[in-house]
A and B are shown apart, each in its own frame.
Chain A
Amino acid sequence: MSTPLNTFKTQGLTKVYGTGPAAVHALRGVDLEIPKGDIVVLLGPSGSGKSTLLNIIGGLDRASAGTAYFEDQNLTDMSDRELTRYRRDHVGFVFQFYNLMPSLTARENVELVTEIAQDPMDVDDALRLVGLGDRMDHFPAQMSGGEQQRVAIARAIAKNPTVLFCDEPTGALDSSTGRAVLHVLNDVNAKLGATVMIVTHAAATAAMAHRVIHFADGAIRTVEENAHRVSPDEIEW
């Protein structure tokens, strides 16, 4: 296969939780292609399947049926060990609740990842990229929510990931902090060329995306390509 143009490609991706009458169909046969280097925003109500999709293509969860490819690797065939390897080498995660190690300083939280990554960036650079150059030696307990989220982003990008997954990255933040975080994500995409996938409730975020995917009932409703992207600064909160 030649160098793929898509970061992800799924076919008939299905996820069912439970069995029998109690079964919940979180994904109902999703076909999708995510081009390399895009910012993709996934929108939809709670339970519409957007997080489930993110978890499966992020290597955190397994599909019940269908296939999901990362570049030319079939994620649905991978063993646990291979999925771990995949996350370790290619994927950066940013979560709603930051998930920093409380016992490590900001710098150490980033180093946690660079120590095991194949081709990491400089820790100071990563923290500077998120605007935290001067707070490197603080513990999470000594930081605000926005600062913690920026450390989490620094940690996610420090490995030079191929793809960055963000699940409600601004969900716990006020508008100006949230905007700053989106700015960072935009920069990372522009400077590092990483594909960025953002799951969010905040529909306004879509304005900065290359591509917006609307979810409902475990299936994709629409995929819009955004011809007129705006800067995060201009996003109406």
Chain B
Amino acid sequence: MSPLNHKLLRDLWRIKGQAGAIALVVAVGVSLLVMMSGMLSSLQDTRETYYERYRLAEVFAPVTRAPLNVLDQVAQISGVASVQGRITGGALVDMPGQALPVRASALSVPRYQASRLNDFYLKHGRALDPARTDEVIVLDSFAQAHDLQLDDTLSATMNGARRSFWIVGFAMAPEFLFTTAPGEFVPDDARFAVLWLNEDALAAAFDMKGAFNEALLSLERNAKPEAVLLAVDGVLDRFGGQGAYLRKDHMSDRFISEEISGLQATSVAVPPIFMGVAAFLLYIVITRMVQSEREQIGLIKAFGYSDFEVGYHYFKLVLVIAVAGAGLGCVLGLWGGRAMAGVYQSVYHFPFLVFHIEPAPLVSGVGVSVLAASAGGLFVLRRVFALTPAVAMRPPAPMDFSRSGAMNERLKSWLDQPSRMVVRRILRNPGRLFGAVLGVAVGMGLSSAQMSLMSGFDDTLDLTFGVIDRSDVSVSFFETMPAETVFDMKHLPGVVEVEPTRAVGAVLRNGRNSYRGTVSGLPANARLNRAVDKDMADIVMPETGIVLAKSLADILEIQPGEMLQVEVLQGRRPVLTVPVASIAETLLGSPSFMLMDSLNRELRERGQVSGVYLRVDSDQLPALYEALKAMPSVAGVTRREDARAAMQKLMDTGAGAMRYVMAAIAGIITFGIVYNAARIAFGEQARDLASLRVMGFTRGETAFVLLGELAVVVLLAIPLGVGIGYYLSFLIAAGFSTDLYQIPTTFRPDAFGIAALAVVLAALVSGWLVKRDIDRIDLVATLKTRE
């Protein structure tokens, strides 16, 4: 080994603390890169494989009731590769010991077992016996939530008739990666079931013998999806077609797509911050090293080593730190990615999710990270080149502070000498101070923005379940009911207040923009389920016109006063052209509202309701549930508290843990910067500090001189971090908000508090580590050295 390499190793060992802190910053950046890009490709590939293996349909076409031979017509449509019909229906599952029945989707499994679309993965048990109509395969996540076993019986009410089934299997399916009850946004394994039954059983239950109510299509490779949708709608129209839609509009796929794009955004934005910080740290550390080794550099050059050889020696040091950090980051990233894959697999109900990494992007990503981090070192090489042997061999004069004295006159009156030392060091090298402040502030801003985003989810909950929906229980019906139902409901046990609603599926269209969703008809003086404006005031439903959620108005690019086309997918399927009356503030989903009477009038279905919101006396809830269970028309009963709890749980699983990860990120960046700054300050001032100790300054007083500058860094960084975090949270919230949920950007003192706390803690730890050096300072040895 060459002597320069020996020196390299010893130098590394000497600055192991600093090198370790920098490598850690690089490692966090690279591990995030590895973890997120790996997760991204794993999720995408798993989704593709899962969809392909279980043949998830590319087009879904719900219809009221169409005879099976219509499928042949659909198959003729250009671009359609295959088509299958199935029977779907709402069901209520009566779980023993539970007051509320659980909503379920019942799906038919065709008698033939050929390669059918929307197949499922049978996790346990066996396939349905085609000869029997009393067997059921249950969605695995629901079975787990309720601890169901094979051979248990399950009691379900379909179309008003209650029947018992044997559970023969548990299954997962690509169309239920994310399981939400129809009309809900919050996935809850326990509150929504999927039942696969033999076709005959469902045909009998829903009166669909020889018919289907959902067509599933796969497309040819070069098919034009939009054209297919139009053609399918044309065929199914007279059978009550409710509008065909593509896979990407399927709720389950939409959720996972949103997750993927969120990951993509984060993986692009976050790692560069760490690389920037690492580059800054390497810059100041190597600068200091070159400065303190100027005599050695001069000597080595005097021996005949070239500028390049000496420069490369110092650059190698940078490379070793960056590469070691990147290596550690890869390991951490793989490990974290595996752990994250486990979380994703359970949240998204994949039967398999293999965390894997594409080698090419990984190698280039890590390479770029290493180079970016090393860039800081490149700047220092100039200094190495500039040192001539003669200059380098001369000891440096005492650091000249005469120019930083300008401000003193004003400060002098209230600064003691140690404070003046702190202030003059800062004034002498403001660039370094600024870099450190900026680095800490960006780290803190990043984590506080992420955390305030997570707190923003809480606002979503409060607005959705506290302001907009003020009911206790909502009830939906299988079919629309006459308004008299409302009056009947008033007599149910415990019901204090009843409010009807009429929801219809519709496609909203404004020019090229369209959105498939639900229009909610609200009564004129809605109290339990309302639309509110951005000041949380009631929006009075206009006689004509539609009220859109802000997110929906953004998707449709439409302003109040403009005309919107509403293609209703139910009943006589009218196409309405209505003015946009106003914009409502919602954070969950992208709903639209009309006056219920106006909606019914357009549908020519006067006085029809599809559900009711109830305010109830909580003491009487069990009696109310019993009564609702006995009503065959009831499709679902949702308690507001359950929906909120499910939402909360969803937020907490991933996001709750993220909060700590984000705090750790702020801590690591701060630690990296403050620790390195402290080490460098210590290196530069070791002799001064020793002199202070000799003069009789206590350790605490000496530490003040050393750590005062760092306290200034932290004190300046925290308010700057708040500012950066505030603006970052807008950017991130905009990136995360979708039509499924919107995240409000609000100033969350708690988020900034936690991030600031992490910064202060990291600063204290680094301060403590360096203060130990003061305690250990060898007074005698330090005083004997020249510099």
- A residues adjacent to B (C-beta < 8 A): 51, 55, 58, 60-61, 81, 84-89, 91, 93, 95-97, 99-105, 108-109, 111-113, 115-116, 138-142, 148, 155, 167
Closest B residue to A95 by CB, please name it: B783
B654 within 8 A of A: no
Residues of A within 8 A of B428 (CB): 103
Cross-chain contact B783 with A103 (CB below 8 angstroms) = no
Closest A residue to B416 by CB, please name it: A115
Cross-chain contact B688 with A102 (CB below 8 angstroms) = yes
Interface flags, B660-704, vs A, CB<8A=1, else 0:
000000000000000000000000000110111111111101000
Cross-chain contact A103 with B421 (CB below 8 angstroms) = yes
Least CB distance from B516 to A in Å reads 69
Residues of A within 8 A of B699 (CB): 84
B509 within 8 A of A: no
27 contacts between A and B (CB under 8 A): A51-B780, A55-B779, A60-B694, A61-B779, A84-B696, A84-B698, A84-B699, A87-B695, A89-B696, A96-B784, A99-B688, A99-B690, A99-B694, A100-B398, A100-B691, A101-B417, A101-B692, A102-B688, A103-B404, A104-B424, A111-B417, A112-B417, A112-B692, A116-B697, A139-B402, A141-B399, A142-B400
Given A60-B779, A61-B780, A97-B786, A91-B696 contact (CB < 8 Å): yes
Taken together as a complex, chains A and B put the C-alpha atoms of A81 and B698 apart, in Å, by 7
Given A84-B696, A95-B783, A108-B417 contact (CB < 8 Å): yes
B490 within 8 A of A: no
Taken together as a complex, chains A and B put the C-alpha atoms of A111 and B418 apart, in Å, by 10
Cross-chain contact A141 with B400 (CB below 8 angstroms) = yes
B161 within 8 A of A: no
Cross-chain contact A55 with B780 (CB below 8 angstroms) = yes
Interface flags, B758-787, vs A, CB<8A=1, else 0:
000000000000000000000110011010
Taken together as a complex, chains A and B put the C-alpha atoms of A174 and B556 apart, in Å, by 87
B401 within 8 A of A: yes
Cross-chain contact B398 with A102 (CB below 8 angstroms) = yes
Interface flags, B697-713, vs A, CB<8A=1, else 0:
11101000000000000
B397 within 8 A of A: yes
Which residue of the partner chain, among A81, A112, A148, contacts B418 with CB atoms under 8 Å? A112
Taken together as a complex, chains A and B put the C-alpha atoms of A161 and B667 apart, in Å, by 46
Interface centre among A99, A142, A155 (most CB of B within 10 A): A99
Cross-chain contact B786 with A102 (CB below 8 angstroms) = no
Interface flags, B598-640, vs A, CB<8A=1, else 0:
0000000000000000000000000000000000000000000
Cross-chain contact A102 with B401 (CB below 8 angstroms) = yes
Taken together as a complex, chains A and B put the C-alpha atoms of A99 and B690 apart, in Å, by 9
Least CB distance from A199 to B in Å reads 12
Least CB distance from B50 to A in Å reads 66
Closest B residue to A60 by CB, please name it: B779
Cross-chain contact A103 with B401 (CB below 8 angstroms) = yes
Q: How many residues of B contact A (CB 8 A)?
A: 34
Closest B residue to A88 by CB, please name it: B696
Cross-chain contact B399 with A88 (CB below 8 angstroms) = no
Residues of A within 8 A of B402 (CB): 138-139, 141-142
Interface flags, B391-418, vs A, CB<8A=1, else 0:
0000001111110110000000000111
Cross-chain contact B783 with A99 (CB below 8 angstroms) = yes
Taken together as a complex, chains A and B put the C-alpha atoms of A58 and B779 apart, in Å, by 11
Taken together as a complex, chains A and B put the C-alpha atoms of A142 and B399 apart, in Å, by 10
Closest A residue to B690 by CB, please name it: A99
B527 within 8 A of A: no
Residues of A within 8 A of B316 (CB): none
- Told that A87-B694, A116-B696 touch, could you supply 12 new A-B pairs with CB distance under 8 A? A88-B697, A99-B690, A99-B691, A101-B688, A102-B400, A102-B401, A103-B428, A104-B424, A111-B417, A112-B695, A140-B398, A141-B398
B425 within 8 A of A: yes
Taken together as a complex, chains A and B put the C-alpha atoms of A160 and B157 apart, in Å, by 99
Residues of A within 8 A of B418 (CB): 112
Residues of B within 8 A of A139 (CB): 398, 400-402, 405
Closest B residue to A96 by CB, please name it: B784
Question: Shortest 9 CB-CB distances between A and B: which pairs?
Answer: A88-B696, A141-B400, A103-B424, A87-B696, A112-B417, A102-B398, A99-B691, A102-B399, A140-B398
Residues of B within 8 A of A148 (CB): 398
Given A55-B780, A108-B420, A112-B418, A85-B400 contact (CB < 8 Å): no
Taken together as a complex, chains A and B put the C-alpha atoms of A172 and B784 apart, in Å, by 12
Residues of B within 8 A of A102 (CB): 398-401, 688
Taken together as a complex, chains A and B put the C-alpha atoms of A9 and B699 apart, in Å, by 28
Closest A residue to B418 by CB, please name it: A112
Residues of B within 8 A of A87 (CB): 694-696
Closest A residue to B786 by CB, please name it: A97
Taken together as a complex, chains A and B put the C-alpha atoms of A138 and B699 apart, in Å, by 28
Cross-chain contact B401 with A141 (CB below 8 angstroms) = yes
Taken together as a complex, chains A and B put the C-alpha atoms of A60 and B783 apart, in Å, by 11
Given A61-B780, A139-B402, A84-B693 contact (CB < 8 Å): yes
Residues of B within 8 A of A103 (CB): 399, 401, 404, 420-421, 424-425, 428
Which residue of the partner chain, among A85, A93, A140, contacts B694 with CB atoms under 8 Å? A93
Cross-chain contact B695 with A93 (CB below 8 angstroms) = yes
Cross-chain contact A99 with B687 (CB below 8 angstroms) = yes
Least CB distance from B55 to A in Å reads 75
Taken together as a complex, chains A and B put the C-alpha atoms of A97 and B781 apart, in Å, by 13
Closest A residue to B422 by CB, please name it: A103
Given A108-B417, A139-B401, A60-B780 contact (CB < 8 Å): yes
Cross-chain contact B405 with A105 (CB below 8 angstroms) = yes
Residues of B within 8 A of A91 (CB): 696
Residues of B within 8 A of A155 (CB): 695
Cross-chain contact A104 with B696 (CB below 8 angstroms) = no
Interface flags, B730-744, vs A, CB<8A=1, else 0:
000000000000000
Closest B residue to A156 by CB, please name it: B695
Least CB distance from B781 to A in Å reads 10
Residues of A within 8 A of B784 (CB): 96
Taken together as a complex, chains A and B put the C-alpha atoms of A148 and B401 apart, in Å, by 15
Least CB distance from B398 to A in Å reads 4
Residues of A within 8 A of B399 (CB): 102-103, 141
Least CB distance from A13 to B in Å reads 16
Taken together as a complex, chains A and B put the C-alpha atoms of A91 and B691 apart, in Å, by 13
Closest A residue to B779 by CB, please name it: A60
Taken together as a complex, chains A and B put the C-alpha atoms of A139 and B697 apart, in Å, by 21
Cross-chain contact B695 with A113 (CB below 8 angstroms) = yes
Least CB distance from B709 to A in Å reads 11
Cross-chain contact A115 with B401 (CB below 8 angstroms) = no
Cross-chain contact A85 with B417 (CB below 8 angstroms) = no
Taken together as a complex, chains A and B put the C-alpha atoms of A107 and B693 apart, in Å, by 19
Taken together as a complex, chains A and B put the C-alpha atoms of A88 and B698 apart, in Å, by 9
Taken together as a complex, chains A and B put the C-alpha atoms of A91 and B693 apart, in Å, by 12
Residues of B within 8 A of A93 (CB): 694-695
Residues of A within 8 A of B417 (CB): 101, 104, 108-109, 111-112, 115
Closest A residue to B787 by CB, please name it: A97
Closest B residue to A93 by CB, please name it: B694
Interface centre among A55, A84, A113 (most CB of B within 10 A): A84
Taken together as a complex, chains A and B put the C-alpha atoms of A16 and B281 apart, in Å, by 41
Taken together as a complex, chains A and B put the C-alpha atoms of A99 and B783 apart, in Å, by 7
Cross-chain contact A104 with B420 (CB below 8 angstroms) = yes
Interface centre among B404, B416, B428 (most CB of A within 10 A): B416
Residues of B within 8 A of A101 (CB): 417, 421, 688, 691-692
Least CB distance from B352 to A in Å reads 63
Taken together as a complex, chains A and B put the C-alpha atoms of A111 and B421 apart, in Å, by 12
Least CB distance from A65 to B in Å reads 18
Closest B residue to A85 by CB, please name it: B696
Least CB distance from B335 to A in Å reads 44
Interface residues in B347-398 by Cβ distance below 8 A to A read 397-398
Least CB distance from B328 to A in Å reads 37
Residues of B within 8 A of A142 (CB): 400, 402
Residues of B within 8 A of A55 (CB): 779-780
Closest B residue to A58 by CB, please name it: B694
Taken together as a complex, chains A and B put the C-alpha atoms of A25 and B209 apart, in Å, by 107
Residues of B within 8 A of A104 (CB): 401, 417, 420-421, 424
Interface centre among A55, A112, A138 (most CB of B within 10 A): A112
